[in-house]
A = this chain, B = another copy of it.
Protein backbone atom coordinates (compact mmCIF):
# COMPACT_ATOMS: atom_id res chain seq x y z
CA UNK A 1 0.00 0.00 0.00
CA UNK A 2 2.90 2.30 0.66
CA UNK A 3 4.22 1.62 -2.84
CA UNK A 4 0.77 2.47 -4.14
CA UNK A 5 1.02 5.80 -2.37
CA UNK A 6 4.43 6.38 -3.93
CA UNK A 7 3.16 5.49 -7.37
CA UNK A 8 0.29 7.86 -7.03
CA UNK A 9 2.50 10.68 -5.89
CA UNK A 10 4.91 10.18 -8.78
CA UNK A 11 2.09 9.95 -11.26
CA UNK A 12 0.47 13.02 -9.82
CA UNK A 13 3.74 14.91 -10.18
CA UNK A 14 3.90 13.97 -13.81
CA UNK A 15 0.39 15.24 -14.34
CA UNK A 16 1.49 18.49 -12.77
CA UNK A 17 -1.48 20.66 -11.82
CA UNK A 18 -4.12 18.58 -13.55
CA UNK A 19 -6.84 17.38 -11.27
CA UNK A 20 -6.31 13.71 -10.65
CA UNK A 21 -9.46 11.82 -9.89
CA UNK A 22 -10.20 8.13 -9.90
CA UNK A 23 -13.28 6.52 -11.39
CA UNK A 24 -14.82 4.65 -8.54
CA UNK A 25 -17.21 1.80 -8.96
CA UNK A 26 -18.67 0.06 -6.00
CA UNK A 27 -18.86 -3.18 -7.96
CA UNK A 28 -15.26 -3.08 -9.17
CA UNK A 29 -12.70 -3.26 -6.38
CA UNK A 30 -9.76 -4.49 -8.45
CA UNK A 31 -8.49 -1.11 -9.53
CA UNK A 32 -4.79 -1.10 -10.36
CA UNK A 33 -2.81 2.09 -9.75
CA UNK A 34 -2.38 2.69 -13.45
CA UNK A 35 -6.12 2.47 -14.09
CA UNK A 36 -6.84 5.05 -11.42
CA UNK A 37 -5.85 7.90 -13.66
CA UNK A 38 -7.18 9.30 -16.84
CA UNK A 39 -4.85 11.04 -19.24
CA UNK A 40 -7.79 13.24 -20.08
CA UNK A 41 -7.20 16.71 -18.67
CA UNK A 42 -10.91 17.11 -17.91
CA UNK A 43 -11.86 16.22 -14.40
CA UNK A 44 -13.95 13.13 -14.03
CA UNK A 45 -16.11 13.12 -10.98
CA UNK A 46 -15.69 9.96 -9.01
CA UNK A 47 -18.68 9.01 -6.98
CA UNK A 48 -19.57 5.81 -5.32
CA UNK A 49 -22.95 4.41 -6.30
CA UNK A 50 -24.24 1.18 -4.93
CA UNK A 51 -26.33 -1.08 -7.13
CA UNK A 52 -28.89 -0.94 -4.38
CA UNK A 53 -29.08 1.86 -1.87
CA UNK A 54 -30.43 0.81 1.47
CA UNK A 55 -32.28 3.57 3.21
CA UNK A 56 -32.33 2.35 6.75
CA UNK A 57 -34.34 3.83 9.52
CA UNK A 58 -34.20 2.86 13.18
CA UNK A 59 -30.73 2.74 14.62
CA UNK A 60 -31.52 0.01 17.08
CA UNK A 61 -32.12 -2.62 14.42
CA UNK A 62 -28.65 -2.59 12.92
CA UNK A 63 -25.13 -3.01 14.15
CA UNK A 64 -22.30 -1.12 12.49
CA UNK A 65 -18.68 -1.31 13.60
CA UNK A 66 -17.20 2.09 14.30
CA UNK A 67 -16.89 4.82 16.84
CA UNK A 68 -20.64 5.42 17.03
CA UNK A 69 -23.84 4.82 15.15
CA UNK A 70 -23.41 6.47 11.75
CA UNK A 71 -27.15 6.80 11.33
CA UNK A 72 -27.16 9.67 13.77
CA UNK A 73 -23.60 10.92 13.50
CA UNK A 74 -24.09 14.27 15.22
CA UNK A 75 -27.23 14.14 17.34
CA UNK A 76 -27.77 15.26 20.92
CA UNK A 77 -26.08 18.27 22.45
CA UNK A 78 -22.42 19.25 22.41
CA UNK A 79 -22.89 20.23 26.04
CA UNK A 80 -23.54 16.62 26.94
CA UNK A 81 -20.79 15.28 24.69
CA UNK A 82 -18.13 17.64 26.07
CA UNK A 83 -18.96 16.71 29.64
CA UNK A 84 -19.08 13.03 28.72
CA UNK A 85 -15.68 13.41 27.06
CA UNK A 86 -14.26 15.15 30.10
CA UNK A 87 -15.66 12.31 32.21
CA UNK A 88 -13.98 9.82 29.87
CA UNK A 89 -17.23 8.44 28.48
CA UNK A 90 -17.08 9.89 24.94
CA UNK A 91 -14.44 9.50 22.28
CA UNK A 92 -12.29 12.23 20.79
CA UNK A 93 -13.85 11.61 17.37
CA UNK A 94 -17.30 12.32 18.75
CA UNK A 95 -16.15 15.62 20.21
CA UNK A 96 -14.67 16.49 16.82
CA UNK A 97 -18.01 15.79 15.13
CA UNK A 98 -19.79 18.11 17.55
CA UNK A 99 -17.33 20.88 16.92
CA UNK A 100 -17.80 20.45 13.16
CA UNK A 101 -21.53 20.86 13.62
CA UNK A 102 -20.89 24.39 14.84
CA UNK A 103 -18.64 25.33 11.95
CA UNK A 104 -20.07 23.62 8.88
CA UNK A 105 -23.27 24.82 7.23
CA UNK A 106 -25.55 23.33 4.61
CA UNK A 107 -24.08 23.84 1.16
CA UNK A 108 -20.48 24.12 2.40
CA UNK A 109 -17.46 22.45 0.81
CA UNK A 110 -15.40 20.28 3.16
CA UNK A 111 -12.45 17.91 2.90
CA UNK A 112 -12.03 14.54 4.57
CA UNK A 113 -8.26 14.17 4.33
CA UNK A 114 -8.24 10.61 5.70
CA UNK A 115 -11.43 8.76 4.81
CA UNK A 116 -10.55 5.56 6.66
CA UNK A 117 -13.76 3.58 7.11
CA UNK A 118 -15.87 6.57 6.13
CA UNK A 119 -17.47 7.61 9.42
CA UNK A 120 -16.10 11.13 9.16
CA UNK A 121 -17.02 11.33 5.46
CA UNK A 122 -20.58 10.36 6.27
CA UNK A 123 -20.80 12.79 9.20
CA UNK A 124 -19.50 15.62 7.00
CA UNK A 125 -21.92 14.71 4.22
CA UNK A 126 -24.88 14.94 6.59
CA UNK A 127 -23.71 18.42 7.61
CA UNK A 128 -23.42 19.87 4.09
CA UNK A 129 -26.24 18.06 2.27
CA UNK A 130 -29.53 19.79 1.57
CA UNK A 131 -31.97 20.15 -1.29
CA UNK A 132 -29.83 22.82 -3.00
CA UNK A 133 -27.21 20.11 -3.81
CA UNK A 134 -24.51 22.77 -3.39
CA UNK A 135 -22.55 21.01 -0.66
CA UNK A 136 -19.40 19.04 -1.46
CA UNK A 137 -17.32 16.49 0.41
CA UNK A 138 -13.88 15.87 -1.07
CA UNK A 139 -12.64 12.63 0.48
CA UNK A 140 -9.27 10.95 0.06
CA UNK A 141 -7.18 8.07 1.33
CA UNK A 142 -4.01 6.38 0.12
CA UNK A 143 -5.63 2.96 0.52
CA UNK A 144 -8.32 1.86 -1.88
CA UNK A 145 -9.68 -0.56 0.74
CA UNK A 146 -10.44 2.51 2.86
CA UNK A 147 -12.42 4.11 0.05
CA UNK A 148 -14.25 0.82 -0.48
CA UNK A 149 -15.31 0.91 3.17
CA UNK A 150 -16.28 4.57 2.87
CA UNK A 151 -18.25 3.88 -0.27
CA UNK A 152 -20.02 0.97 1.37
CA UNK A 153 -20.94 3.08 4.38
CA UNK A 154 -22.31 5.84 2.16
CA UNK A 155 -24.33 3.26 0.25
CA UNK A 156 -25.97 2.22 3.47
CA UNK A 157 -26.59 5.57 5.10
CA UNK A 158 -26.68 8.28 2.43
CA UNK A 159 -29.37 8.88 -0.15
CA UNK A 160 -28.50 8.89 -3.88
CA UNK A 161 -28.82 12.69 -3.86
CA UNK A 162 -26.46 12.95 -0.89
CA UNK A 163 -23.92 10.64 -2.49
CA UNK A 164 -23.86 12.92 -5.53
CA UNK A 165 -22.12 15.46 -3.28
CA UNK A 166 -19.20 13.16 -2.41
CA UNK A 167 -16.02 12.80 -4.44
CA UNK A 168 -13.52 10.14 -3.38
CA UNK A 169 -9.87 9.98 -4.42
CA UNK A 170 -7.14 7.40 -3.94
CA UNK A 171 -4.35 9.83 -3.16
CA UNK A 172 -2.27 11.40 -0.43
CA UNK A 173 -3.86 14.18 1.62
CA UNK A 174 -0.78 16.28 0.92
CA UNK A 175 -2.15 16.77 -2.60
CA UNK A 176 -5.64 17.94 -1.67
CA UNK A 177 -5.12 21.17 -3.59
CA UNK A 178 -5.11 19.14 -6.81
CA UNK A 179 -8.73 18.11 -6.36
CA UNK A 180 -10.42 21.09 -4.75
CA UNK A 181 -11.26 23.69 -7.43
CA UNK A 182 -9.54 27.02 -6.93
CA UNK A 183 -12.78 28.96 -6.51
CA UNK A 184 -14.14 26.72 -3.75
CA UNK A 185 -14.06 28.13 -0.21
CA UNK A 186 -13.38 25.16 2.06
CA UNK A 187 -15.07 25.36 5.48
CA UNK A 188 -13.44 22.37 7.11
CA UNK A 189 -10.56 19.95 6.57
CA UNK A 190 -10.73 16.86 8.78
CA UNK A 191 -7.79 14.62 9.63
CA UNK A 192 -8.13 11.34 11.54
CA UNK A 193 -4.56 10.09 11.47
CA UNK A 194 -2.74 6.84 12.16
CA UNK A 195 -3.69 3.55 10.54
CA UNK A 196 -6.95 2.26 9.08
CA UNK A 197 -9.00 0.63 11.89
CA UNK A 198 -9.25 -3.04 11.00
CA UNK A 199 -6.72 -2.59 8.19
CA UNK A 200 -2.97 -3.00 7.80
CA UNK A 201 -1.41 -1.30 10.84
CA UNK A 202 1.85 -0.86 8.96
CA UNK A 203 0.20 1.59 6.60
CA UNK A 204 0.16 4.80 8.61
CA UNK A 205 0.03 8.51 7.94
CA UNK A 206 3.57 9.94 8.02
CA UNK A 207 4.61 13.15 9.70
CA UNK A 208 6.27 14.51 6.54
CA UNK A 209 3.17 14.17 4.34
CA UNK A 210 0.86 15.14 7.20
CA UNK A 211 2.69 18.45 7.63
CA UNK A 212 2.52 19.01 3.85
CA UNK A 213 -1.20 18.24 4.03
CA UNK A 214 -1.65 20.74 6.89
CA UNK A 215 0.15 23.38 4.82
CA UNK A 216 -2.19 22.63 1.92
CA UNK A 217 -5.26 22.71 4.20
CA UNK A 218 -4.11 26.06 5.57
CA UNK A 219 -4.00 27.47 2.03
CA UNK A 220 -7.42 26.26 0.89
CA UNK A 221 -9.33 26.96 4.10
CA UNK A 222 -11.76 29.90 4.12
CA UNK A 223 -11.73 32.44 6.96
CA UNK A 224 -13.99 31.14 9.74
CA UNK A 225 -13.02 27.61 8.77
CA UNK A 226 -11.54 24.77 10.78
CA UNK A 227 -8.77 22.23 10.43
CA UNK A 228 -9.77 19.36 12.75
CA UNK A 229 -7.15 16.79 13.71
CA UNK A 230 -7.43 13.57 15.70
CA UNK A 231 -3.93 12.19 16.17
CA UNK A 232 -2.67 9.05 17.88
CA UNK A 233 0.58 8.31 19.68
CA UNK A 234 0.17 4.59 20.39
CA UNK A 235 1.73 3.27 17.17
CA UNK A 236 5.32 3.59 15.87
CA UNK A 237 5.75 7.05 14.38
CA UNK A 238 2.60 8.38 16.06
CA UNK A 239 4.38 10.39 18.74
CA UNK A 240 6.65 12.01 16.15
CA UNK A 241 3.66 12.86 13.95
CA UNK A 242 1.81 14.43 16.90
CA UNK A 243 4.85 16.51 17.83
CA UNK A 244 5.20 17.74 14.25
CA UNK A 245 1.53 18.73 14.22
CA UNK A 246 1.80 20.49 17.56
CA UNK A 247 4.85 22.35 16.33
CA UNK A 248 2.98 23.33 13.16
CA UNK A 249 0.01 24.55 15.22
CA UNK A 250 2.15 26.48 17.71
CA UNK A 251 3.71 28.48 14.86
CA UNK A 252 0.42 29.71 13.43
CA UNK A 253 -0.03 33.42 14.25
CA UNK A 254 -2.59 34.05 16.98
CA UNK A 255 -3.94 37.05 15.02
CA UNK A 256 -5.31 34.78 12.31
CA UNK A 257 -5.52 31.34 13.95
CA UNK A 258 -6.70 29.91 17.26
CA UNK A 259 -5.19 26.49 17.89
CA UNK A 260 -6.57 24.38 20.73
CA UNK A 261 -5.58 20.99 22.03
CA UNK A 262 -7.66 18.60 24.13
CA UNK A 263 -6.00 15.64 25.74
CA UNK A 264 -6.57 13.02 28.43
CA UNK A 265 -3.38 13.37 30.46
CA UNK A 266 -3.64 10.18 32.50
CA UNK A 267 -4.18 7.97 29.46
CA UNK A 268 -0.83 8.29 27.68
CA UNK A 269 -2.02 6.63 24.47
CA UNK A 270 -5.34 8.48 24.25
CA UNK A 271 -5.91 10.33 20.97
CA UNK A 272 -5.13 14.04 20.93
CA UNK A 273 -7.69 16.49 19.59
CA UNK A 274 -6.30 19.54 17.84
CA UNK A 275 -8.50 22.26 16.38
CA UNK A 276 -7.03 24.98 14.17
CA UNK A 277 -9.57 27.75 13.66
CA UNK A 278 -8.87 30.32 10.96
CA UNK A 279 -10.21 33.70 12.03
Interface set of A (CB-CB < 8 Å, partner B): 77-79, 82-83, 85-88, 98-99, 102-103, 246, 249-254, 257-268, 274-275, 277, 279
Contacts and interface: CB of A to CB of B under 8 A. Distances in A.
A255 to B, nearest CB: 10
A83 B267 CA distance: 24
B250 A88 contact: no
Copy total for this chain: 2
Most buried by B among A83, A246, A249: A83
A83 B87 CA distance: 19
Contacts of A85: 260
B258 A87 contact: yes
Given A87-B277, A102-B83, A260 B260 contact: no
Q: Which 8 A-B pairs have the closest CB atoms?
A: A88-B258, A78-B79, A259-B266, A83-B102, A259-B265, A249-B265, A250-B265, A252-B266
A260 B262 CA distance: 7
Contacts of A99: 82-83, 86
A266 B279 contact: no
A85 B261 CA distance: 11
A106 to B, nearest CB: 18
B264 A258 contact: yes
Contact of A254 (B253, B267, B274): B267
Contacts of A103: 83
Most buried by B among A87, A103, A252, A267: A87
